[in-house]
Amino acid sequence: MLEFLALPAFQDNYIWLILDPQRQEAAVVDPGDAVPVITWLGRHPEYQLRHVLVTHHHRDHTGGLATLKAATDCRIWGPKAETIAGLDRQLNDGDSISILGQTLQVYAVPGHTLGHIAFYCDDPEEPWLLSGDTLFAGGCGRLFEGTAEQMHASLERLRALPDATSVYCAHEYTQANLRFAHAVEPDNSDIRVRLEVVDDLRAAGRITLPTSIALEKRTNPFLRSDVPAVVAAAAAQQGEPVSGGVATFAAIRAWKDRF
Ligand code: ZN
Ligand code: FE
C-alpha cells in the first residue's frame, strides 16, 4: 500500500511524496524545490528516492530536478512535448510506466501548457491521479499556452475517470476556487458545504487535498459546463447566450481570471 505525503513549497505548491513502505522506496512529483525533498530524505535515511515525475515545464514544478539528480540516483520522467532539462525518459500520451510496484498511465492534458501530462493509476480498489496544474480542487489551471477547447477536452478526459479516483494536484488553491464556484452556482449546496469545510481546514492551516473525481463532478464549475445553472451563469457574465460545453467553459475560465 502506498502512502502520499504533501511537502509544502513556495507560497502554495505541494510536492507530493509517494512512499512504498514495504520496499522503502519513494517517488516525488513536480519538485519545484529540492530542499523539502532532500530534507525529508535526510530524516528518513531508510528510504531511497527512485523516481521523479514531472507534469509540465513551469519552474515551480521543475526547479529542483538538477539538485535531486545530483543528490540521489532517481530517474526523472516527464513530457516529451516540452523542453525540460534532465529528463531520463520522455513520455507521450498512452505510455505506461512502472513505479513503486504500480503501473501509471500517461495522459496528455494540454491547456495550462501545451505538453502537460497527468499520471493515472487504475488500482481497482484505490485509483489515483496526479493532475499537476490541470485539474485543481474546485478549479483548473490557467490557459497559459493552450486553448479553451484543448483544456475542456483534457478535463473531460479526467472527468471520465472512476468517481473513487483520488486526485493529487500541485497547488493549494481550493479555498479561492470554491469561492468562485459559489459565485457561479450560489444555489449548489455541495459547493456551499465544501467551502465551509475548506474554510475550517485553512483556518487551522491544514491541507485540503487530495480531492476525488466524485467531489469535483459535484463542485468544480470547470467540470460542470453542461449543467444548466453553469451555462446560465456563463451567459449572464458574457451578456449573451453561450452554446456548448467549450463556449461555457471558456466563459467561466475568463470570468475566473478576473474574479
Ligand atoms: Zn504551472
Ligand atoms: Fe504550478
pLDDT, one tens digit per residue, over 88-136 is 999 999 999 999 999 999 999 999 999 999 999 999 999 999 999 999 9
How many angstroms does the Cα of residue 22 sit away from the middle of ligand 2?
Answer: 31
Question: Domain coordinates of the chain in residue numbers?
Answer: 3-257
What is the assigned CATH class of domain 3-257? alpha beta
Which ligand sits nearest to residue 13's alpha carbon?
2
pLDDT of the residue at 120: 99
With residues binned 3-state (H G I as helix, E B as strand, rest as coil), the percentages for the chain, rounded to 5, are 35, 25, 40
Which pLDDT tens digit goes with each residue over 25-83?
999 999 999 999 999 999 999 999 999 999 999 999 999 999 999 999 999 999 999 99
| Catalytic-labelled residue, pool 30, 57, 133, 182 | 133
For this structure, is 57 an active site residue? no
pLDDT of the residue at 45: 97
HEC profile for 24-88?
A: CEEEEECCCCCHHHHHHHHHCCCCEEEEEECCCCCHHHHCCHHHHHHHCCCEEEEECCCCCCCCC
Residues, beta carbon < 5 Å, ion ligand 1? 58, 133
Q: In the predicted model, what is the mean pLDDT of residues 145-155? A: 98
Q: How far apart are CA 30 and CA 18, in angstroms?
A: 12
Sheet holding 48-53, edge to edge: 3-9, 13-20, 25-29, 48-53, 75-79, 89-91
Confidence tier at 215 by pLDDT (50, 70, 90)? very high
135, 155 in Cβ contact below 8 A? yes
pLDDT of the residue at 89: 97
DSSP sequence for 180-221: HHHHH-TT-HHHHHHHHHHHHHHHTT-----EEHHHHHHH-G
Cα angle 74-75-78, degrees, rounded to a multiple of 5:
135
Which ligand sits nearest to residue 12's alpha carbon?
2
For this structure, is 152 an active site residue? no
Q: Which residues contact 14 (CB under 8 A, 6 or more apart)?
A: 6, 7, 8, 168, 169, 170, 171, 172, 207, 209
Mean residue pLDDT of the chain comes to: 98
Confidence tier at 200 by pLDDT (50, 70, 90)? very high
| Catalytic-labelled residue, pool 20, 30, 33, 56 | 56
For this structure, is 61 an active site residue? yes
Q: In the predicted model, what is the mean pLDDT of residues 134-162? A: 98
Q: How far apart are CA 245 and CA 37, in angstroms?
A: 40
Confidence tier at 193 by pLDDT (50, 70, 90)? very high
